[in-house]
Amino acid sequence: MSPTPTGRLFGTDLVLTRTFRAPIDDVWASVTDPRRTARWFGPWEGDGGPGRIVKVQMAHEEGQPWMDMTIDACEPPSRLAVSAGEDDDRWHLELVLTEAAGVTELRFTQRLTGLDGVGEIGPGWEFYLDALVAARDDAAMPSFDDYYPSMKEHFEAQRPE
């Protein structure tokens, strides 16, 4: 059964959410501790902190490349903002965590510089966030083939005419 896309466009912000029956501190560790990020996204190296650059391995991408990410904001355990890439194509990513009654919501936002690639970008983040869910549940990792190209239309249909 194919996963259902959840991401939405709000202007040029691509927003996806996931919820976890877990305390906020535990979910925060899943998105910031390099041993835990290695399980669903990739490990990272460096001295983390606002204004610092860390090296992140894209463990599920072809060739498993390493990339530099700048930590733009780090407010444990509720907000992490990072950016990566070149000036014209810089990616701005933000994760905001909120907890209520033992349930933590993760709200992921990518501030897009344009909407041309949203049909590829959206399915990629759906995959990675579902990989986070699988890692936390000790379940099998999803396959990117279940996300792309099947989700492409969902994201492209949200682009303004």
In a domain, 111, yes or no: yes
Instruction: Tokens for 101, please give them.
Output: 């009654």
Give the structural domain span for 94. 8-156
In a domain, 66, yes or no: yes
In total, how many domains does the chain have?
Answer: 1
The CATH number given to whatever domain includes residue 61 is 3.30.530.20
Q: Provide the CA 143 distance to its chain's centre, in angstroms.
A: 16
One digit per residue, the tens of pLDDT, for the chain of length 161 reads 689 999 999 999 999 999 999 999 999 999 999 999 999 999 999 999 999 999 999 888 889 999 999 999 999 999 999 999 887 789 999 999 999 999 999 999 999 999 999 999 999 999 999 999 999 999 999 999 999 999 999 999 999 87
In a domain, 2, yes or no: no
